[in-house]
A and B are shown apart, each in its own frame.
Chain A
Amino acid sequence: GAVVSQHPSRVICKSGTSVKIECRSLDFQATTMFWYRQFPKQSLMLMATSNEGSKATYEQGVEKDKFLINHASLTLSTLTVTSAHPEDSSFYICSAREEGAVLGQPQHFGDGTRLSIL
């Protein structure tokens, strides 16, 4: 159980393109989803916390107009990288918490999206 599906797994596109990444919880409802960014051999850096039905909370230094997050249902959150540039190339990973989960419970991660901007 507790499967998170992330799509697409890999995107290669031209500079200036906007890219949408989907994160779905397949067998549970997720009130909260998280979006991370990971550079090679580095830690997962939290970009934003996405709450169903409300605006996302962005971490310091993350441009909310650049990384648009929508969490329209209890099973789907999307991250749109607008007007992507080569420096946005990275591995983007989402995770989800089960509805009703309290502190001290694991997050369930998707398999990530490798974004390459040419």
Chain B
Amino acid sequence: SQKIEQNSEALNIQEGKTATLTCNYTNYSPAYLQWYRQDPGRGPVFLLLIRENEKEKRKERLKVTFDTTLKQSLFHITASQPADSATYLCALDGVDSSYKLIFGSGTRLLVRP
């Protein structure tokens, strides 16, 4: 069956450390993978997109990797800050000819001061 999985357990780290979040998928072949941030009671906000032929993408303190062999994406936040505390969602894009996104359930990140 088709699945997209993110760590359901919250990730609790100390300020200044690097947060690493995982997104694994099964029986999909996405052309792209997107990462969003969602704060409580708010809609998701787009962060980064990576294509299937890209290994890594960076934006400021954010880095995303995409391994289509392992069917996995890793999302890193370096020098984490309490303001980074939120839920982070991965989404598969281009799994078919439609423009639908298929979301994981998200991982909650808590950065302690």
| A residues with CB within 8 A of B | 4, 6, 32, 34, 41-46, 49, 91, 93, 95, 97, 101, 103-112, 114
Contact: B105 with A42, CB < 8 Å? yes
A34 contacts across to B, CB distance below 8 A:
100-101
Q: Smallest Cβ distance from B68 to chain A, in angstroms?
A: 15
Given contacts A103-B32, A108-B46, A111-B42, contact A46 B93 (CB under 8 A): no
Secondary structure type dominating chain A contacts: strand
Q: Which of A45, A49, A107 contacts B46 (CB 8 A)?
A: A107
Contact: B44 with A109, CB < 8 Å? yes
| B residues with CB within 8 A of A | 31-32, 34, 36, 41-46, 49, 51, 89, 93-94, 98-106
Docked complex Cα distance between A93 and B45 (Å): 12
What 9 pairs between A and B have smallest CB-CB spacing? A109-B43, A106-B46, A43-B105, A104-B32, A44-B103, A43-B103, A103-B94, A111-B43, A109-B44
Q: Smallest Cβ distance from B20 to chain A, in angstroms?
A: 20
Q: Which of A32, A95, A112 contacts B41 (CB 8 A)?
A: A112
